[in-house]
Structure 1
Amino acid sequence: MRWNNLTQPSEFILLGLSSRPEDQKPLFALFLTIYLVTLVGNVLIILAIYSDSRLQTLMYFFLSSLSFADICYTTVIIPKMLVNFLSEAKTILYGECLTQMYFFLAFGNVDSYLLGAMAIDRYVAICSPFHYITIMNHKFCVLLLIISFLVPFLHSLLHVYLMNQLDFCASKNIIRHFFCDVTPMLKLACSSTFVNEIVIKIEGVPVFMIPVTSIITSYLRILIAVLKIPSAAGKYKAFSTCGSHLTVVALFYGSVGYVYFQPLSSYTVRDRIATLIYTILTPMLNPFIYSLRNKDIKQGLGKLIVRIKSQ
């Protein structure tokens, strides 16, 4: 392979989670198990929702969309990880790297926007229950879903395009991460990353903050409304409908905030570990979080499993 001193590389080396040979097979087994659990868990949630008429409501419509996004999100990352665990080269082609980055950014933000849409749904259900059907009508929900996919995919396209404009040195082709993320790749650039960093601050932060603001505003209003409920049982019932969503939000945004809200130069091994939480662990845990805390989902899953066994 021949590279110029300053050019677009034909491939990168993904350093991964560990470079020790003895760690590769155990890590392969671990992440293969996580991937299969993620696929089975989220597929079961989708099938349970669409096979049970009682679950075909707007709240579960967004949950099934979140499960679909989680399947796509992990599929962007884990299969390449598994291949690299069993490969000595651990390389990824330049085009594959940008493609992986594009879909990682897209589906990661889709998750974020769907969590924001689910917060709005909970706010309307708790604070305006008599106007729920009027406010959360079919057109509004379709609009929320379109925004949840359109904005992230356009956002991702912009950042991948800007990444493709950078020059990389032949001597700097090792990505110190387990997939092609923006921050580790910017650290490899030999040309100026000023435009990329400015766009991240001007465009990236607002795009990220839209669903965050939606979640914070919705739950502040929910909190105010719940505190006005006189009975303790009423307060518990209102809060219990939000428990699963709040748990997922805390896991997702806590780890995302830890990784991205710090200077580019400080990207460390701890950030790679934190990245595992929102890219791999959260999509795996989501079906368990929602099913364990939701009687309707548990009943829907029970009916689905009985139907599968009978067939």
Structure 2
Amino acid sequence: VQMFLSFAMGATECVLLGMMALDRYVAICYPLRYPAIMSKSAYVPMAAGSWIIGLVDSMVQTCLTMQLPFCANNVINHFVCEILAILKLACADISINVISMAGSNLIVLVIPLLVIFISYIFIVATILRIPSTEGKHKAFSTCSAHLTVVIIFYGTIFFMYAKPKSKSSVSTDNQHILESFISLFYGVMTPMLNPLI
């Protein structure tokens, strides 16, 4: 249950951050049409879509992981029961899980990150064309909270999962403590900041 929920929340958070970037894009680049474009009829499907994508993705990943046999070591050195931590304990071929996770990462990590990146390119281009300094400052402050959360969330995820795996067992205790601390940022801190952005 914990693995399913933590993966679902993480996947949903990624998609929500992409949707929030689209919201900022419309607010800055099309301010007069913002109320018409981003009405309740747009927000509800966007939020529901984020949750559906996160839950379906988590269900697929969790089901694939729970079908694996696990060997001797059953200690998970993470803040929450994450799928990648569980896969390290499997004593069978996890190639299907790796392929599935790669597809999942493309959908819930890379595509929203591209949406965020492209949205902010257009946002910055629009802000630079604003003639008044006060207008530029107001527009940048509108986006600063979201951009901060995106950097914290994606930065910690990439630090955790894109770093090369160490073969040395000398500092494994320190590494586990660091990984647990970092997982707090993307697992707890960024979802708590969502109401503020």
Q: TM-score range by the shorter chain?
A: 0.7 to 0.9
Q: Residue 186 of structure 2: which of 278, 281, 306 is its match?
A: 278
Runs of 4+ in 1 over 4 A off after TM superposition: 263-267
Partner of 1:110: 12
CA gap 1:220/1:250 in 2 versus in 1, 3 angstroms:
same
**Secondary structure in structure 2 of the residue aligned to 1:175:** coil
The answer to whether the aligner puts 1:138 opposite 2:40 as a matched pair is yes
Which residue identity lines up with residue 216 of structure 1 in the other structure? Answer: F
CA gap 1:205/1:265 in 2 versus in 1, 3 angstroms:
farther
1:89-128 Cα distance to aligned partner (Å, 9 max, x none): xxxxxxxxxx101011111222222222111111101101
Partner of 2:64: 162
Which residue identity lines up with residue 152 of structure 1 in the other structure? Answer: G
Aligned residues: 190
Q: Kindly, what percent of the aligned residue pairs are identical?
A: 39
Deviation of 1:264 (Å): 6.2
Distance 1:283 1:150 in 2: 17
Aligned residues of 1:113 and 1:211 also touching (Cα < 8 A): yes
1:156-202 Cα distance to aligned partner (Å, 9 max, x none): 00000100111111x22111223211111111100111111111112
Aligned residues of 1:183 and 1:264 also touching (Cα < 8 A): no
Aligned residues of 2:79 and 2:181 also touching (Cα < 8 A): no
Aligned residues of 2:13 and 2:191 also touching (Cα < 8 A): no
Deviation of 1:273 (Å): 2.3
Which residue identity lines up with residue 138 of structure 2 in the other structure? Answer: K
Which residue identity lines up with residue 188 of structure 2 in the other structure? Answer: I
CA gap 1:167/1:184 in 2 versus in 1, 3 angstroms:
same
Distance 2:52 2:164 in 1: 28
Distance 2:108 2:142 in 1: 27
Distance 1:262 1:201 in 2: 16
The answer to whether the aligner puts 1:234 opposite 2:140 as a matched pair is no
> Rg larger in 1 or in 2?
1
Q: Residue 256 of structure 1: which of 150, 154, 157 is its match?
A: 157
**Secondary structure in structure 1 of the residue aligned to 2:81:** coil
CA gap 1:246/1:225 in 2 versus in 1, 3 angstroms:
same
Q: Which structure has greater strand proportion? A: 1
Q: Residue 172 of structure 1: which of 67, 73, 77 is its match?
A: 73
TM-score (norm 1): 0.57
Aligned residues of 1:258 and 1:271 also touching (Cα < 8 A): no
The answer to whether the aligner puts 1:244 opposite 2:152 as a matched pair is no
Which residue identity lines up with residue 99 of structure 2 in the other structure? Answer: I
Which residue identity lines up with residue 76 of structure 2 in the other structure? Answer: I
Deviation of 1:214 (Å): 1.6
Aligned residues of 1:187 and 1:264 also touching (Cα < 8 A): no
Could you list the runs of 5+ residues in structure 2 that have no partner in the other structure? Answer: none
**Secondary structure in structure 2 of the residue aligned to 1:166:** coil
Which residue identity lines up with residue 20 of structure 2 in the other structure? Answer: M
The answer to whether the aligner puts 1:290 opposite 2:196 as a matched pair is yes
Distance 2:166 2:57 in 1: 23
Partner of 1:73: none
Deviation of 1:211 (Å): 1.8
Distance 2:78 2:24 in 1: 36
Q: Residue 181 of structure 1: which of 39, 63, 82 is its match?
A: 82
The answer to whether the aligner puts 1:211 opposite 2:117 as a matched pair is no
